[in-house]
Chains A and B, each alone.
Chain A
Amino acid sequence: MTLANGWEMVIGLEVHTELLTKSKLFCACENHFGSEPNTNTCPVCLGLPGSLPVLNEVAVDMAMRIGIALHCTIAPSTFHRKNYFYPDQSKDYQISQYDLPINSGGYLDLPDGTRISIERAHMEEDTGKSTHVGGSGRLAGASSSLVDYNRCGVPLVEIVSGPDIRSALQARAYAAELRGILIATGASDGRLEEGSMRFDANVSVRKANEAFGTRCEIKNLNSLRSLQRAIDYEALRQIEVLEAGGSIRQETRHWDENLGETSTLRVKEDADDYRYFREPDLVDLAPSDAWQVAVREALPPMPAARRTGLLAHIPEPTGPERDAVDVVVDLDLDDYALGAIAGGIAPALAIARASNEVAAGIENRANLSVDAFTATLTMEQSGALSATQAKTVLGDILESGGSPEEKAAQRGYEQLSLDSLATTVATFIEQNPDEWNRYREGDEKLAQFFIGLVMKATKGQANGKAVIAELQRRR
């Protein structure tokens, strides 16, 4: 995307995701968000003298899933120590992969077809969490600091994109697509609000087709919205500086969500020298071919393939139908849509109900089986339930479980017999001869007039399609 005066953004993203392992990367402590502080700890993750790390194989498995989903090459890899002093890092070094990552050289295709290269996706351990008391809430100036080591040693994969992203919106699309992929692999829950996915954005600007400009890195963005806003702000800031004849200093910047601004965190000259060297407490990691094949074969379809699969059921999808498919895939509701389609439900209806009604009650999805979903839509499709009733029934099942028949009965949605519908329709025809005559002469709008009367009389329990059928039969 070209900005004013021919400026273009160049963006690369570094995305950290916590892995959904039961235990931490190098010890058996529970990997769990939200426990009492310092309860998921042991000599290893507290970095007590004499303790040694032992690599969690499930974490390796999950890292490979991510690599394969991003079309990376899996290669023999090593661990390094990244040395820097910080209280929430128990050993005062972080074990991370450095020059030989487990996954490298992949790509991610955005929904619009743009291909973003993936330089690497490597494993590392997370740090603990500091809370600074007094002052601004940052380390500097705090009167005291508290550290929770529960997160220390939680496995992370850092996914580094190439500098291929050209707008903040595209960065957001990349992050969203990557999130969907991570969730699909089962390696991450993608919960941004819990910090299980975090973004760093490298942003620079240039005139189209010129060499890359000097970049700034915005650290620790924790929502898609912040990501997009921070990049937009930062790019415009850089353009202003450059257009005023200034130059960009390579630096790390902090995004203030409330002010909507980035500010200098540290300049490159102050950057730590991490003194990376091979972690002597671990051996090289070389997953066998058989292991890699097993991971590859067990990997479920990724979002792009799932979207294509759902859209294939709709011959000429409209915009809203495409959006509905995106929602179904984003929220992992494919089973409902596909199950209902397999059960004979019109694909557009199945996808619509999944993307609206099921999505609205997604936190209770366990209450709604694919069979119950399909049964509800079958009733709707046959006319046994109106559209409104079907939606209500789905909501009720999500709320408290049960079958559509049971819920419909509880709501008093006893099926109006066709006989009683016919009687009702006949009554209204008799009471409204003028309208009936105009309808018979071809004024189709008047069908709605009669449907309205019937609905009112039946308190919405009639099926609109059945009313039209009766009107046409009598025409």
Chain B
Amino acid sequence: MTTALSIARDVNAGERSASSVLAASLAIVAARNEELNVFLHVDYEGATAMAAAVDERVAQGLNAGPLAGVPIAIKDNMCQTGIPTTCSSRILDGWRPPYNATVIDRLIAAGAVPVGKTNLDEFAMGSSTETSAFGPTRNPLDPTRVPGGSSGGSAAAVAAGMTPLSLGSDTGGSIRQPAALCGVVGMKPTYGLVSRYGLIAFASSLDQIGPFAATVTDSALLLEVIAGHDPRDTTSLPEPSPVLVAHVNDGVAGKRIGLVRELVEGADEDVVNAVNSAAEALRAAGATIVELSIPELRLGLSAYYLIAPAEASSNLARYDGVRFGLRVNGDDVTAMMEATRTAGFGAEVKRRIMLGTYALSAGYFDAYYGQALKVRTLMIDAFRRAYDHVDLLLGATTPSVAFAFGAKSHDPMAMYLSDVFTIPTNLAGEAAISVPFATGEAGLPIGVQILGPGRSEAQLFAAARVLEIADGRP
């Protein structure tokens, strides 16, 4: 498939039209979406108009932007004016946002063409898209298996060649895990690098929007476009977007990279082997590999499953049937709210709302939520100590390759464990990337994860690029 970088270059040069690029993209959507259930909504009309507008700019001799004519898929938890936005939940039935998320504004300003909204686990709570109210997405590499989640639709859109780019959101691994399972590049940026304005919140202190792409360079290109301070998000970092694409080929010579025991333990053998090969590849490129242990990372999962549900229990309170989305009538307002929420939310969302409500309740707060916050601080300190000795960390993204439908959906704990390697980065507010490296069981892709301190995105892309080349994708 053509990369976003080459599409934008060709469109700006007048060698291809944005409209023809879009048509090619939509042809693949038409051919495979029924089978894969990637898109919940395709905005044919809007995308066609935006592609035409790009072509018009080019015809006028203007630069149409760094993503000129590049079709992009948007996870359906980001608001786009007038486009149905569901979070894969019945509770948002019929709702069309009256405003654009900041990332959407930035994409359009950069010439990108949002083609539609992709499937996810309901409110991004899940690791397989199986909790979507609109049915799961199928893994394009093996439709009997999950694409991962929660951003499974966005990962699958790129893996199936429907769009060269897509946006996901990562609260505990929701970009990196499906990227690994679908064999694409997925980056979770530093907390605050990308504005959350217009991202429908799951767990506000952990949520971060990030790119999916088939190549490391495209991933960097997309992040450059969407990153940078946004006055509408108080928690966004103060600085403008970093320079990333120009550093993609910086390599890892002289870098110290820590191979972290806790980020491979418990993983399947094929995954462990892939991580070890990746370490070798990085060493061969001039990095020093240091084996180390960060025991605090083992606490991440339990802390996460208190903090994220606690925030979610509050964030999801507004779905009460009063102002938007689903309303199921009742005898009075309270009965209406209860009936609406009972009918509108799926089992996993209800489970997490209950967990979070409990963790914040008087008498339990200190033992649960309060304790989890302390663990979070421990995690941040542990990472900081590690980064005193090394530049980056290396491990697996997921314990296994893509698993079959139903394999974990009846056992929440088993499902939660698929995020065990990705969660610590969210708790610490730092950055990490998953890059395909080698293959495992049934020839399915394996994702290797590289982690870095806050604002280390350029280094992460450079290291991921080394692995990309070593894996035979120059």
Known: A139-B333, A275-B357, A283-B234. A85 touches B320 (CB 8 A): yes
* Inter-chain contacts of A120 with B (CB < 8 A): none
Rounded to whole angstroms, the CA-CA distance of A37 and B333 in the bound complex is: 20
Binds B, one of A52-60, A63-71, A400-408: A52-60
**How many A residues are at the interface, by size bracket?**
20 to 34
30-83 of chain A: CB within 8 A of chain B: 43, 46-55, 81, 83
Chain B min CB distance to A116 (Å):
30
Q: Are B198 and A81 in contact (CB under 8 A)?
A: no
* Inter-chain contacts of A52 with B (CB < 8 A): 196-197, 232-234
56-105 of chain B: CB within 8 A of chain A: 77-79, 85, 87, 92, 95, 97-99, 101
Q: Are A93 and B317 in contact (CB under 8 A)?
A: yes
* Inter-chain contacts of A91 with B (CB < 8 A): 317-318
Rounded to whole angstroms, the CA-CA distance of A46 and B97 in the bound complex is: 12
Q: Are B197 and A83 in contact (CB under 8 A)?
A: no
Known: A50-B97, A50-B197, A90-B323. A281 touches B204 (CB 8 A): yes
Q: Are B318 and A47 in contact (CB under 8 A)?
A: yes
* Inter-chain contacts of B318 with A (CB < 8 A): 47, 49, 90-92
> Given B97, B198, B234, B320, which contacts A281 in the complex, CB threshold below 8 Å?
B234
Known: A275-B357, A282-B234. A50 touches B199 (CB 8 A): yes
Q: Are A280 and B332 in contact (CB under 8 A)?
A: no
Q: Are A85 and B323 in contact (CB under 8 A)?
A: no
Chain A min CB distance to B77 (Å):
8
Rounded to whole angstroms, the CA-CA distance of A230 and B299 in the bound complex is: 54
Question: Is A147 positioned at the interface, with any CB of B under 8 Å from its CB?
Answer: yes
Rounded to whole angstroms, the CA-CA distance of A49 and B95 in the bound complex is: 10
Q: Are B234 and A43 in contact (CB under 8 A)?
A: no
Question: Is A273 positioned at the interface, with any CB of B under 8 Å from its CB?
Answer: yes
Question: Is A145 positioned at the interface, with any CB of B under 8 Å from its CB?
Answer: yes
Q: Are A50 and B201 in contact (CB under 8 A)?
A: yes
Q: Are A50 and B78 in contact (CB under 8 A)?
A: yes
* Inter-chain contacts of A47 with B (CB < 8 A): 318, 323
Chain B residues bordering chain A, tally (CB within 8 A): 45
Q: Are A273 and B361 in contact (CB under 8 A)?
A: yes
Known: A54-B231, A55-B234. A275 touches B360 (CB 8 A): yes
* Inter-chain contacts of A282 with B (CB < 8 A): 234-235
Question: Is B367 positioned at the interface, with any CB of A under 8 Å from its CB?
Answer: no
* Inter-chain contacts of B87 with A (CB < 8 A): 49
Which residue of the partner chain B has the closest CB to A41? B323
Question: Is A286 positioned at the interface, with any CB of B under 8 Å from its CB?
Answer: no
Rounded to whole angstroms, the CA-CA distance of A280 and B234 in the bound complex is: 10
80-98 of chain A: CB within 8 A of chain B: 81, 83, 85, 87, 90-93
Chain B min CB distance to A269 (Å):
12
Question: Is A259 positioned at the interface, with any CB of B under 8 Å from its CB?
Answer: no
* Inter-chain contacts of B99 with A (CB < 8 A): 43, 48, 51
Question: Is B40 positioned at the interface, with any CB of A under 8 Å from its CB?
Answer: no
Which residue of the partner chain B has the closest CB to A83? B314
Q: Are A275 and B314 in contact (CB under 8 A)?
A: yes
Chain A min CB distance to B106 (Å):
15
Known: A83-B317, A281-B234. A48 touches B324 (CB 8 A): yes
Question: Is B205 positioned at the interface, with any CB of A under 8 Å from its CB?
Answer: yes
Question: Is A140 positioned at the interface, with any CB of B under 8 Å from its CB?
Answer: yes
* Inter-chain contacts of A90 with B (CB < 8 A): 318, 323
Interface residues of B (CB under 8 A from A): 77-79, 85, 87, 92, 95, 97-99, 101, 196-201, 203-205, 231-235, 310-311, 313-314, 317-318, 320, 322-324, 332-334, 337, 357, 360-362, 365, 369
| 6 contacts across the A-B interface (CB closer than 8 A) | A48-B98, A49-B79, A50-B201, A87-B320, A87-B322, A283-B234
Closest 8 CB pairs of A and B: A92-B317, A275-B360, A280-B205, A280-B204, A49-B200, A50-B198, A50-B79, A50-B200
